[in-house]
Amino acid sequence: MRGCPRLALLCALPWLLLAASPGHPAKSPRQPPAPRRDPLDPARGADFDRVYSGVVNLSTENIYSFNYTSQPGQVTAVRVYVNSSSENLNYPVLVVVRQQKEVLSWQVPLLFQGLYQRSYNYQEVSRTLCPSEATNETGPLEQLIFVDVASMAPLGAQYKLLVTKLKHFQLRTNVAFHFTASPSQPQYFLYKFPKDVDSVVIKVVSEMAYPCSVVSVQNIMCPVYDLDHDVEFNGVYQSMTKKAAITLQVRHCFCGHCCQ
């Protein structure tokens, strides 16, 4: 984010969910056709809250463009959801999300290593993009997001794409907030310290005792580490089954605010 961030992030990640997926001149080798976009899918002007379906293969990729305006003092969080019926790990659907300063990518199915060397494939993946905050100095900012969906599958791989703006992204003090998360669909949220509050306790309660979940507190900066293999890289974290609590003090946070 530009300037001095004034927000804190809360990230909760259930780690290991048990659910789940002679004489002729030599010819140069034939080059594969360059990828092209499906004319039925838009390269620009895609809409939020609309489900897009498509098929991608070795020669076809689809690019979607989303734009919105962020206002000073307002943080807009965008979440990208992709699922695919393909279970072929050799030819997954590849998703690349490009923002002004960030690139986020993953594949579907998404593979996680669980307990006892077991692996789990998830055919539904959703990620929250690192938001950009407009300031009074910058004024309103036009935000542009490109979502590139591709695959090397010779016969094609089907997918569905949904991009939404999160309605409930900022947490409030003493107000309970309900959400769901999984290894392939982690969640994080913003928290801003009130002027008269120096310390808070973040409590997370789960109705189900998963093998392992993680609550992480991170400074407000991009990228946000929200997957099982990188959640330890920034801030502090705590593993949990059904309950977890972390004390957060404003003096430990960047510019008086931090993320978890």
> What is the pLDDT, as a whole number, of residue 165?
94
Q: Whole-model pTM?
A: 0.79
Statement: residue 84 has pLDDT above 90: yes
Residue of higher predicted confidence among 13 and 183: 183
Q: Report the range out of 28-42, 43-57, 148-162 with the highest average pLDDT.
A: 148-162
Domains, the chain, ordered by start: 8-16+36-256 (2.60.120.380)
Among 42-46, 96-100, 104-108, 205-209, which stretch is predicted with the lowest mean pLDDT? 42-46
User: Would you place residue 163 in the very low, low, confident or very high pLDDT band (cuts 50, 70, 90)?
Assistant: very high
In this predicted structure, the answer to whether residue 133 has a pLDDT above a threshold of 80 is no
- Mean pLDDT over 9-15 rounds to 45
pLDDT of residue 253: 62
Which pLDDT score is estimated for 19?
36
The span from the CA of 241 to the CA of 239, in Å, is 7
Whether the per-residue pLDDT at 38 is higher than 80: the answer is no
